[in-house]
Every structure is written in C-alpha cells, then in structure tokens.
Amino acid sequence: MEAPGAPASQGTAAPAAEGEEAAALAKEGEGLYAQHCASCHQANGQGLPGVFPPLAGNPNLKDKAYHIKVVLEGLQNQPITVNGQTYQGVMPSFAQLSDREIAAILTYERTAWGNDFGPVTEAEVKAAR
C-alpha cells in the first residue's frame, strides 16, 4: 500500500518513455538513412541483388553488436550471406557520424520494412567505439 501523497506507481511509464524515444530515434534515422545509406541499400531497404545486400528482412540485423560494428568499421572484401545470397561485403566506415546519428540509423533499419529487431541506443554505439 502506498503512503498517502506518494506518487502513483510508474510501472508503465518507463517502458512508454523508452518506446517514445525509440520512435523518435527511428524517425530521425529515416532521414539520416536517406542521406547516408539509401544510395546503396535503396530507399525500400531491398539493396541491389548481387551488389548491395538488403536490409529489409536481413537476419544479420538481429545481432546488434555486429550491426553496430559494420557501420562503425565498414566491410572490406568480407563475404556476407543474406537470405542465401552471398555479397562481397565492401562498405565504407561511417565512424564519422555521431553516436546518436548511428543509433538513429540503426534503429530505423532494425524497425523499418517489417524488421522487428528493436532499437539501438547511443550508449551501445559509444561502447562499441
């Protein structure tokens, strides 16, 4: 029983706030994705067959640490397989972007086009640097 005058339980407030932050981050990431990623991975996340892998439906995005690492470090002639197709992973590093910008882009990628892999936080990107 709560003491008189005590604030009401906030059991659902924190998850709601986290959801709102993730939604705001994804919205920010949509614009950053268009600016930095869509030229290769396409606006619809489908990539270019045999050249640039799709991000839509890409099971590799489930591995948050790997996803962050690829964006921070890029890929240089490292083969990756997505949905049975192998791509010769050549991607520049985007380490010049801020932790927030990378978190926003990755949150967008992990939640757009039917992906349901959850958000990435600035703290997770910072820790990976």
Would 57 be classed as within a structural domain?
Answer: yes
Would 61 be classed as within a structural domain?
Answer: yes
Strand, helix or coil at 116?
A: coil
Would 14 be classed as within a structural domain?
Answer: no
Report the predicted TM-score, pTM, of the whole model to 2 decimal places: 0.84
Range of the domain at 69: 45-128
Q: Domain with 111 in it: what CATH number?
A: 1.10.760.10
Taking the CB of residue 86, how many other CB atoms lie within 10 A of it? 11
H/E/C letters for each residue in 83-110?
CCEEEEEEECCCCCCCHHHHHHHHHHHH
Would 112 be classed as within a structural domain?
Answer: yes
Would 10 be classed as within a structural domain?
Answer: no
Would 117 be classed as within a structural domain?
Answer: yes
The number of domains in the chain is 1
Would 115 be classed as within a structural domain?
Answer: yes
Give the tens place of pLDDT for each residue, 79-100. 999 999 999 878 999 999 999 9
Give the tens place of pLDDT for each residue, 5-58. 444 444 445 666 778 888 999 999 999 999 999 999 999 999 998 899 999 999
